[in-house]
Structure 1
Amino acid sequence: MLSAAPGLAASSARLDAPAAATSSLADEVPGSGTLAQAMPFVGTTPPAGAVAKPQPLGTTAPGAAKPPAGDPHTILPQPPVGKAAIGMSARFGEKEPLVPRGLVWRVFADHPEASGAYPLVAEAAEPAPVFFLSPGGYVVHVSYGLASVARRIVVGEESRREQVIIPAGGVRLQADVLDKPIAAQKVEFDIFEGSFLQGRASSRPFFRGANPGDLIVLPAGDYYVVSTYGEGNAVIQADLQVAPGKVTEATLHHRAAEMTFRLVSAAGGDALPETQWSVLSPGGDAIKESINAQPTFALAEGEYTAVARQDGKTYTKDFIVEAGKNGPVEVLVGEQAAPPSINADEGSGD
């Protein structure tokens, strides 16, 4: 299992498929890129003074229950006349720690306006806010990264505490080749719900374009990660499990290399300009194409054919990619003849 974010615990491991470890999410803060990007409710701006920070001084409201063990609201502040103080907090699970930071709270009326929108009554970006609410029904929505929970509450005359469970975990990903980290700008990750190995994976990414080292906070559950290294076919998948309150740190191991292609008149010579390149699989399928004098592709280990087209002629060369062995692929003008399936009409280039 892979695993931490603000408040998450962590561990780590490797996958070759990946390796993963986990730690506490409660000790980390998720980056802004992990915040939920949409809300199920819309409405008006909350009135000023609708949210109050928990105060260390004050008296418990008459009739209010004592806080449960682990509740951050030891004492609730005295609410304005006609309102009740509702102390909110969240934890990762029934037996998991409190979420210490990174939460976004929104309180909506539980009945829509004529437009169909649910009015926004109050909001806060604190781990344990206190909302001063008039008697009535509300929907409290809290988000943590890409995980969120909504709860309907009914407020009476008495102040009280409410605690929600938000089963979220974190993922932090890295990639390497033969234990050498891949530069961050050359690799990215897409995260899908489900299991690639068990054939029950979503076809649409839950989170797209994660960078190495980013902390992505997700609802707890099963996911699989697609790691794309450079431009080419260096793509691998790995299953991960996200546990509540934990951060999974995983390294995906690519078996690939970066190959730079050059069409030259003599070995070691300058690359000829205006060259069109294709890289073919042993079966003749095109893997990558480019119009560049010296393109570089990250290719999974295996056998390939390089095809160079320049000045109306076509040249080819077979080559082998070995993991971690970056290097040039030089195609010499006049020494490699294109097979008929590639360019029968243009000749060999000799």
Structure 2
Amino acid sequence: MRRLYRSLAPRAGIGRLVAATLAAALAAPDTVAQQSPGQNYGIEIRGAIPDRIDIDLLGSANATSIPPTPGDPKAPDKQGAGQVTLVAVMNEEGRRIEQGLLWRVFEGKPGADGRIRLLSQHRDATPILRNPPGDYLVNVSFGRAHTSRKITIPATGHAVEQFLLSVGGLRVTALLANGDPAPPGSVTYEVYSDERDQFGQRTRIMGGGKPGVILRLNSGLYHLVSIYGDANATVRADFTVEPGKLTEAKVVHAAARVTFKLVSRPGGEALAGTQWSIATKEGEVVKESAGALPTHTLAPGSYVASAKSGGRVFRRSFSVRPGEATQVEVLMQ
């Protein structure tokens, strides 16, 4: 078992026409801007320094790879037309992937409109293609891991095309500052590319990730954004996925739930229809909402709550400490 720490230093291209067109056909994720950092406490494992990530790279016993199936792919039908059997493997030794695959077969070149037409999709582990002889583009995906390349179907005979998927796994565990697991449904995470474009933006690989679920990814470097609650309690870190290994990322969120109420006197009834704006002491707005008793999860720090009612705005400064749920009363005076 190896423990890997990586700093959050940012990292600073044009593919061929066919590759770009194929990427568009596969509905590549949108590019999104990096979120505002807020007051973050980072990723902390077993007393590690905040704003670091503790990643255990587990060996083959806990790998996401699937054991090979002995024997050759099923034999083609005995007929004159050429055929190709598609096979996906996990490593150079030929460890086959026998489930969870999605194959997409495209025409070998763009049409007059510049697009590549999707011809067929297959969920078999080793599909057999009986298309007319010629060149085709084939994409195979396994979770979020995927690869694409050109194949040729012969006029006669049978060929086997092997696709190498350099795939590993990520599993996020979300904890609170006191070491307890985060409440179910309270934490989601997003995975971004490690590289940035010329505008300093990363490409989002996926969003809405749930802790405890293994996410299959191409091996490489990525950026993790973990979100606790509905405001600014976020954690960011870089992580590495290695082929055939499971990356365990344990995220510690230091935050607290805060309930707001606008009252005419201390301890009085909360006024309905209040519009709320929560900002840091530097003036950065981290959450806006409306209602009599809104509750939000905030990162530790100092804030100013602004309550608008009846055309007037009332303010109060307050602080948030990790794990200490609190209620903030704003007086109409």
Both structures adopt the same fold (TM-score exceeding 0.5): yes
1:253 aligns with 2:243: no
1:189 aligns with 2:224: no
* Partner AA of 1:24 in structure 2: A
Deviation at 1:122, TM superposition (A): 5.1
Greater Cα shift, 106-115 or 239-248? 106-115
Give the aligned partner of residue 26 of structure 1.
65
* Partner AA of 2:211 in structure 1: P
* Partner AA of 2:157 in structure 1: E
* Partner AA of 1:91 in structure 2: V
Deviation at 1:76, TM superposition (A): 4.0
Instruction: Give the gaps of 5 or more residues in structure 2.
Output: 5-43
Deviation at 1:300, TM superposition (A): 0.9
Deviation at 1:261, TM superposition (A): 0.8
* Partner AA of 1:151 in structure 2: R
* Partner AA of 1:127 in structure 2: A
Give the aligned partner of residue 93 of structure 1.
91
Greater Cα shift, 172-181 or 252-261? 172-181
Instruction: Give the gaps of 5 or more residues in structure 1.
Output: 3-12, 29-69, 334-348
Give the aligned partner of residue 285 of structure 1.
284
Give the aligned partner of residue 244 of structure 1.
243
1:83 aligns with 2:81: yes
* Partner AA of 2:141 in structure 1: S
Deviation at 1:79, TM superposition (A): 2.2
Deviation at 1:213, TM superposition (A): 3.3
Conserved? CA contact 1:308–1:314, under 8 Å: yes
Conserved? CA contact 2:73–2:85, under 8 Å: no
* Partner AA of 2:55 in structure 1: A
Conserved? CA contact 1:218–1:242, under 8 Å: yes
Identity of aligned residues (%): 33
* Partner AA of 1:124 in structure 2: H
Taking the aligned partners of 2:275 and 2:116, their CA distance within structure 1 comes to 57
SS of the residue aligned with 2:202?
A: coil
Conserved? CA contact 1:97–1:245, under 8 Å: no
* Partner AA of 2:128 in structure 1: V
1:117/1:329 Cα in 2 relative to 1: closer, same or farther (>3 Å)? closer
After superposition, what is the alpha-carbon deviation per residue over 1:114-141, rounded to whole angstroms, capped at 9, x for unaligned?
6666565654212223334554433332
After superposition, what is the alpha-carbon deviation per residue over 1:165-193, rounded to whole angstroms, capped at 9, x for unaligned?
01122323242321233334333222111
Conserved? CA contact 1:73–1:87, under 8 Å: no
Deviation at 1:216, TM superposition (A): 2.8
Root mean square deviation of aligned Cα? 3.3
1:139/1:265 Cα in 2 relative to 1: closer, same or farther (>3 Å)? closer
Conserved? CA contact 2:174–2:250, under 8 Å: yes
Q: How does 1:315-334 map to 2 (within 5 A)?
A: 315-333=314-332
Taking the aligned partners of 1:114 and 1:270, their CA distance within structure 2 comes to 68
Conserved? CA contact 2:258–2:297, under 8 Å: yes
After superposition, what is the alpha-carbon deviation per residue over 1:80-132, rounded to whole angstroms, capped at 9, x for unaligned?
42124433211122147322211112334535666666565654212223334
After superposition, what is the alpha-carbon deviation per residue over 1:144-171, rounded to whole angstroms, capped at 9, x for unaligned?
2233222323344332332210112232
Taking the aligned partners of 1:111 and 1:305, their CA distance within structure 2 comes to 58
Conserved? CA contact 2:190–2:207, under 8 Å: yes
Conserved? CA contact 1:238–1:252, under 8 Å: no
1:265/1:126 Cα in 2 relative to 1: closer, same or farther (>3 Å)? same
Q: Compute the TM-score of the two structures, normalised by the length of structure 1.
A: 0.68
Q: Compute the TM-score of the two structures, normalised by the length of structure 2.
A: 0.71
Give the aligned partner of residue 339 of structure 1.
none
